[in-house]
Structure 1
Amino acid sequence: MSDDYYERLVDEDALEAYLEAHLGAVDEYDVRRHREGHSNETLFVTWGDRELVIRRPPPGETAETAHDVLREYRVTDALIETDVPLAEPLLACEDHDIIGSDFYVMERLEGVVLRDEEPDRFAEPEYRKRIGEELVDTLATIHEVDYEAVGLGEFGRPEGYTQRQVDRWGKQLAWAFERTEDEREVPDLREVGGWLRDNVPEEYPHTLVHGDYKLDNVMFGPDEPPELVGVFDWEMATLGDPRADLGWMLSYWRDRKDPDPAIPELTTQFMEAEGYPTRVELVDRYEEQTGFEYEHDRFYRGLAVYKLAALGEMFFRRYLEGNSDDPMYPLMEERVPALAARAKRIVDGDEPL
């Protein structure tokens, strides 16, 4: 990471003054950038004897609504008294004079995010089964929240959500294409976008939705058996169609029968091991927990991979414009077409649940 890029992320002196004004003075202060994410930026802050996390958007121009960290703060603040496991939100700041953008501060949880490999202590069939169950049960808990009762009744418009998802991600993709099509075109994405527009489900339950729910956006506690202790990355949360959340989660969950991943660098594959539930088993458990039927799988998983491809194309544009030093972003020149091909297989029925 270049010193210049880090300086665009945080003014350590200004941040220290802000935290001191709100949390009191401390003797120990340290800021570190978390390198695992590929969307919003995450900073770890030691503040005396407390460990904090700061979330902010990446520097540079971004597509509208794609990096709304204050939305994360609002929803987590509303959910802190529910059964949804969360890191406690502490502060939200709209003053760009502090670190150059909106940001919010939350407590740091202790545990492990299952991204590249499973911990040795979880490498038993009964624990693997528990990981899948905890993941889908927590999604069900999110979808069962009484959003009116927690003050989120005006958090979104559930009517028309699924259509807006197709339209919004089409616009995000168009924003990316403005720059990236000078490098190469991705015709499969345009074809999948047309299929999605023609096949939007008309009816669906209305719930709180996370918008980016997947295995590496949750944390499991430090002990065994596996216990899901925190859900992160709420920037896309709103009121809408819970089946879109489930389709997104399923698009990341690997079965042993699956073809090679489109983005091997970002694909978690250990759940292909013995003991992990299949996608069908996760769907069955979700339906049992919520009473919602998961219909139109081709649409929801196809939409998920289409959105992932659009994200990748947005990353590629930011790379081309010099607005990120993430080594993954230049790889999107080839990875996005591979994702587009996967999305087409799903909507064509060639990559079933």
Structure 2
Amino acid sequence: MAENKTYLDRLVDKSALKEYLERELGDARAVTVQYHDEGHSNETLFIEWGEQNLVMRRPPAGETADTAHDVLREYRVISSLEDTGVPVPNPILACDDTSVIGGKFYLMERLEGDVIRDHEPDRFATAGQRRQVGETLIDTLAEIHTIDYEAVGLSDLGRPEGYTERQVERWGKQFDWAYETTADERDVPHIDEIAEWLEANIPEEYEHTLVHGDFKLDNVMYAPGTPPKINAVLDWEMGTLGDPSADIGWMLCYWDTDPLIDELMPTFLDQPGYPSKEELVERYEEQSGLEFTNRRFYVALGLYMLIAVCEMFYARYLNGNSNDDLYPKMGSVVPEISQRAKEVIDGERDI
């Protein structure tokens, strides 16, 4: 408990936060701050401010790779999508003054529901409900990709031209940033070969849409009750304009009956009812009117991104900038991900 409290103190100066919120939201008799330790990227904290139940999002304590934890981008996107068909929490306020708690942050409403990661809710444990869990997930992604981003004020959120090329370059740089810390611990096999293959196989043309950047089962919330209904898409820190197929490739890396990381990926997708990858892709194409081609490339890109993300987790652990029990495991997990990516680019794995 002492370690967790120490890390919480690094995340939030409670007295400074109280003073700031009193100026912005008015006085509150009861104020509590609770660290939510289920996430593995930006930090999530639950704030009770009087009768308001809020969620704070801020970057992790300590040094992080450039642009990897852009919480104010999240705030902008959910603010723009608030009145669209894409379900998002109501935004409350954003703060770019790092002197308040030691980092930029924003607040949004706290919703009730389930974020599904390590187990399925009992109310969804039938074949019919499981199918709808998958269908609502892919339907929501189709909704994101078909939103009129100009109409909602997001035309300058990113540069869709060259997006996929930049993704290959960006995640290579993120890996290199982390590897400066982790290289002495062990090697990551095939990483250069995977990068070279991706660079040589980037599709010449692709659609330009709003993309989430981290879309997967545990980045949405399912509302209470049945049938399954998503009431919030979460974690928009990498939201931008770009190639929608990159979102699908990333999602498919997590929608797998043979998960690479039990702590990050659902381990129950082999239960009767959950749609197969092929069924999800077919439904996506029907719902969005967009085609998902170059599948091997986009799954390999998703795994390459996962390698970089997990290597950054490992670097944060080695630098003492996280109390997450998952991070030290990345020392052995990242080479396994890299091996799977090699199998994908070699055509040795069913995708």
TM-score, normalised via structure 1 length: 0.97
Whole-angstrom distance in 1 between the partners of 2:111 and 2:263: 26
Whole-angstrom distance in 2 between the partners of 1:62 and 1:133: 35
Whole-angstrom distance in 2 between the partners of 1:155 and 1:263: 32
Whole-angstrom distance in 1 between the partners of 2:161 and 2:88: 27
Which residue is equivalent to 2:175? 173
Residues matched between the structures, number: 349
Which residue is equivalent to 1:207? 209
Whole-angstrom distance in 2 between the partners of 1:109 and 1:148: 28
Which residue is equivalent to 2:53? 51
1:74-113 → structure 2 map (5 Å cutoff): 74-113=76-115
Tell me which of 165, 186, 189 is aligned to 2:188. 186
**SS, match of residue 158 in structure 1:** coil
Shift in Å, 1:3: 2.8
Which residue is equivalent to 2:138? 136
1:229-308 → structure 2 map (5 Å cutoff): 229-255=231-257, 258=258, 261-308=259-306
Shift in Å, 1:4: 2.3
Which residue is equivalent to 2:150? 148
**SS, match of residue 77 in structure 2:** helix
Contact 1:263–1:339 under 8 Å retained in 2: no
**SS, match of residue 84 in structure 2:** coil
Contact 2:118–2:263 under 8 Å retained in 1: no
**SS, match of residue 252 in structure 2:** helix
**SS, match of residue 33 in structure 1:** strand
Whole-angstrom distance in 1 between the partners of 2:27 and 2:347: 59
Shift in Å, 1:262: 2.5
**SS, match of residue 98 in structure 1:** coil
Whole-angstrom distance in 1 between the partners of 2:129 and 2:250: 23
1:2–1:114 CA distance, 2 compared to 1 (3 A): closer
Tell me which of 220, 223, 237 is aligned to 1:221. 223
**SS, match of residue 99 in structure 2:** helix
Shift in Å, 1:58: 0.5
Shift in Å, 1:38: 0.7
Which residue is equivalent to 2:327? 329
Query: Unmatched 5+ residue regions in structure 2?
Result: none
CA offsets per residue over residues 330-349 of structure 1, 9 Å max, x none? Answer: 11110000111111112222
Whole-angstrom distance in 2 between the partners of 1:236 and 1:187: 27
Which residue is equivalent to 2:349? 351
Query: Which amino acid in the other structure matches residue 292 of structure 2?
Result: Y
Shift in Å, 1:39: 0.6
CA offsets per residue over residues 226-258 of structure 1, 9 Å max, x none? Answer: 111100000000000000001111110024xx4
Shift in Å, 1:190: 1.9
Whole-angstrom distance in 2 between the partners of 1:223 and 1:351: 38
Which residue is equivalent to 1:33? 35
Whole-angstrom distance in 1 between the partners of 2:331 and 2:140: 35
Shift in Å, 1:266: 2.2
CA offsets per residue over residues 53-74 of structure 1, 9 Å max, x none? Answer: 0000001111101000000001
Shift in Å, 1:216: 0.2
Query: Which amino acid in the other structure matches residue 132 of structure 2?
Result: R
Query: Which stretches of structure 1, 4 residues or longer, exceed 6 Å deviation after superposition?
Result: none
Whole-angstrom distance in 1 between the partners of 2:315 and 2:291: 38
Shift in Å, 1:198: 0.8
Whole-angstrom distance in 1 between the partners of 2:349 and 2:33: 44
Whole-angstrom distance in 2 between the partners of 1:317 and 1:190: 19
Whole-angstrom distance in 2 between the partners of 1:311 and 1:254: 18
Shift in Å, 1:217: 0.3
Shift in Å, 1:264: 2.5
Shift in Å, 1:187: 2.5
Which residue is equivalent to 1:119? 121
Query: Unmatched 5+ residue regions in structure 1?
Result: none
**SS, match of residue 97 in structure 1:** coil
Query: Which amino acid in the other structure matches residue 324 of structure 2?
Result: D
**SS, match of residue 35 in structure 2:** strand
CA offsets per residue over residues 40-93 of structure 1, 9 Å max, x none? Answer: 000001111111000000011111010000000011111101110000111010
Contact 2:171–2:305 under 8 Å retained in 1: yes
Contact 1:85–1:229 under 8 Å retained in 2: yes
Contact 2:189–2:339 under 8 Å retained in 1: no
Query: Which amino acid in the other structure matches residue 156 of structure 2?
Result: E
Contact 2:160–2:242 under 8 Å retained in 1: yes
Which residue is equivalent to 2:338? 340
**SS, match of residue 269 in structure 1:** coil
TM-score, normalised via structure 2 length: 0.98
Whole-angstrom distance in 1 between the partners of 2:215 and 2:348: 24
